[in-house]
Amino acid sequence: MTADSPVDARPARPRVDLFLLAGTFPGADHTATLGHAVDYAVAAETAGFDGVWLAEHHFISYGVCPSATTLAGFLLGRTSRLRVGTAAAILPNRHPVALAEEAALLDAVSGGRFDLGVARGGPWVDLEVFGTGLDRHTTGFPESLDLLLDALSGRPTVAGNGPVHRFRPVAVVPRPARPLPVWLAATSAPTVELAASRGLPLLLGMHVDDDAKAATLDRYARTATAAGTRREAPGAGPDTTAAEHVSAHLAYVADTVAEAEKEVRDTLPGWLARTREYVRIDGSPPAHRDLDAYLEHLLAIHPVGPPDRCVSRLTGTLAVTGARRLMLAVEAAGHPDRTLETIRRLGTEVLPHLTVPG
């Protein structure tokens, strides 16, 4: 490039994805709900979103997708540009090598458009049903995570040498052409520190505000520095992992704040109440939050309202947290037409105005 060559001075845009939970609302059965989720993903590609993340739940109607990797495979086939990820596949319910095989398969057939996010999950009855047990949720989780990473590293074989997973070396087939990245959903300090010690970016949930997310990422950075896993950009110095963290947000667009908040208040509490269907493996009752107070908390911190308010709140997240990836949960209105309209308006009236601070 010569001194007279034009320079592209356009500010960088963050990556913005949908976050689909496949939640059941009145008037839709499970089949219709899953069909709507597919429609939302296809609409996201048309609207200019960069990707879609898929939640995974078992035995509750809060989310009716029990296999985020299976739905991801379908959506990768229905789209041509969109990245599709899991937010998150519940690792303690699965054998980590089997999950790695699925991830490598989806990466290969999609041209590298698949993103694997995993989570510890909760101490739910899933662990009993799938025969993995509570230890896979607690003490066995780091071992399972390390085995998953080993199987995705690009090495030709993988073996289980721990107390939970013990097996002879076997060939990795299909073998990833490169180490495949993994995101870790983290809501507790030990899981944040586990991710940082392995150099894995985080999936940050919707339940906390920007300051709490910033504090989480500060803890992550300190742990990563101490563990020697903090990655620096050549010749610069900032932590390049920070650009890969993904911050989740409730998002809904309407012409006024009052209109948007009313529509969300009319539907979201009934959806959130379905989280009370969780069953703990030990039979004890799970804690139940005050849903009305939680709803008001969500409305106070997330992009719900007219486009300019959505832009302002998401820009604030980028500035406060340093995260450069966003995923927007758009199903809160509880009706397919309104959800599709929100996706369209986010694509045309919000995404074009988002830039990376600085």
Query: One digit per residue, pLDDT tens: the chain, 358 residues?
Result: 344 444 455 679 999 999 999 999 888 899 999 999 999 999 999 999 999 999 999 999 999 999 999 999 999 999 999 999 999 999 999 999 999 999 999 999 999 999 999 999 999 999 999 999 999 999 999 999 999 999 999 999 999 999 999 999 999 999 999 999 999 999 999 999 999 999 999 999 999 999 999 999 999 999 999 999 987 644 434 455 667 999 999 999 999 999 999 999 999 999 999 999 999 999 998 888 899 999 999 999 999 999 999 999 999 999 999 999 999 999 998 999 999 999 999 999 999 999 998 7
Six-digit token pair at 208? 């906390």
Pair 320, 210: CB distance under 8 Å: yes
Range of the domain at 123: 15-353
Q: Does 264 fall in a domain?
A: yes
How far CA 63 is from CA of 85, 285, 302, 335, in Å, comes to 16, 20, 21, 15
Q: 152-155, long-range: CB within 8 Å, 24+ apart, which pairs?
A: 152/100, 152/103, 152/104, 152/116, 152/176, 152/179, 152/180, 152/182, 153/179, 154/178, 154/179
* Number of domain units in the chain: 1
Q: Does 255 fall in a domain?
A: yes
Pair 295, 304: CB distance under 8 Å: no
Q: Does 10 fall in a domain?
A: no
Q: Does 213 fall in a domain?
A: yes
Pair 152, 180: CB distance under 8 Å: yes
**Beta strands in 59-212, from DSSP E residues, in sequence order:** 83-86, 89-90, 114-119, 157-161, 166-171, 182-185, 202-204
Q: Does 7 fall in a domain?
A: no
Q: Does 30 fall in a domain?
A: yes
Q: Does 311 fall in a domain?
A: yes
Q: Does 61 fall in a domain?
A: yes
| Cis before 159 (ω within 30) | no
Longest dimension (CA), the chain: 71
CATH of the domain at 314: 3.20.20.30
